[in-house]
Chain A
Amino acid sequence: MSDTTTTIEQPSAEVSGRPIRLDDVTKRYPGQTKPAVDGITLEIPAGKVVMFVGPSGCGKTTTLKMINRLIEPTNGRIVLGDEDVTQIDGDELRRRIGYVIQAGGLFPHMTVATNIGLVPKMLGWSKERIAARVDELLELVSLDPDTYRDRYPRELSGGQQQRVGVARALAADPPVLLMDEPFGAVDPITRQRLQDELIRIQEEVQKTMVIVTHDFDEAVKLGDWIVVFEEGARIVQYDTPERILAEPANEFVENFIGSGAGLKQLTLRRVRDVDVADAVVVKPGTTGKDALQQAENAGHGHVVVVDDRERPLQWLSRRQLSRIDVIDARLDPALPVVSGAATLNDALDTMLVTSVGAALVTGRRERFEGVIDVETVMEAIRDARANAANSEGAPVGMNSGSIGLTPSLIAAGEAAQAAHAGDEAATATATDDARADHTERGAAG
Chain B
Amino acid sequence: MWDYISTRLDAIGFSAWQHLSLVVQCLVLAVVIAVVIAALVYRSPALTSVANSVSAIGLTIPAFALVGLMIAPFGFGVTPAVVVVTFFAVLPVLRNAIVGLGGVDPALVESARGIGMGRLRTFLRVELPMAWPVILGGIRVSAQMIMGIAAVAAYVLGPGMGGFIFSGLSRLGGAGATESIVVGVVGVVLLALVLDLLLVGLGRLTTPRGIRV
Contact = CB atoms under 8 A, between A and B. Distances in A.
Contacts of B107: 101-103, 105
Nearest to B133: A109
A93 B116 contact: yes
Interface residues of B, number: 20
A92 B116 contact: yes
A102 B118 CA distance: 21
A99 B210 contact: no
A98 B114 CA distance: 8
A45 interface: no
Interface in A90-119: 91-96, 98-99, 101-103, 105-111, 118-119
A68 B116 CA distance: 9
A334 interface: no
A151 to B, nearest CB: 9
Given A101-B107, A107-B108, A94 B208 contact: no
Given A103-B107, A105-B108, A109-B129, A168 B115 contact: yes
Nearest to A102: B107
B211 interface: yes
A110 B208 contact: yes
A62 B141 CA distance: 43
A152 B112 CA distance: 17
A109 B130 contact: yes
Nearest to B114: A99
A154 interface: yes
Contacts of B112: 107
B111 interface: yes
Contact of B116 (A101, A102, A105, A122): A122
Interface in B99-127: 107-108, 110-118, 121, 125-126
A91 B118 contact: yes
A169 interface: yes
A92 B118 CA distance: 9
Interface string A152-164: 1110000000000
Contacts of B115: 94-95, 98-99, 118-119, 168-169
A428 interface: no
A156 to B, nearest CB: 11
Contacts of A99: 111, 114-115
Q: Which 8 A-B pairs have the closest CB atoms?
A: A105-B111, A152-B210, A95-B116, A99-B114, A94-B116, A109-B208, A109-B129, A109-B210
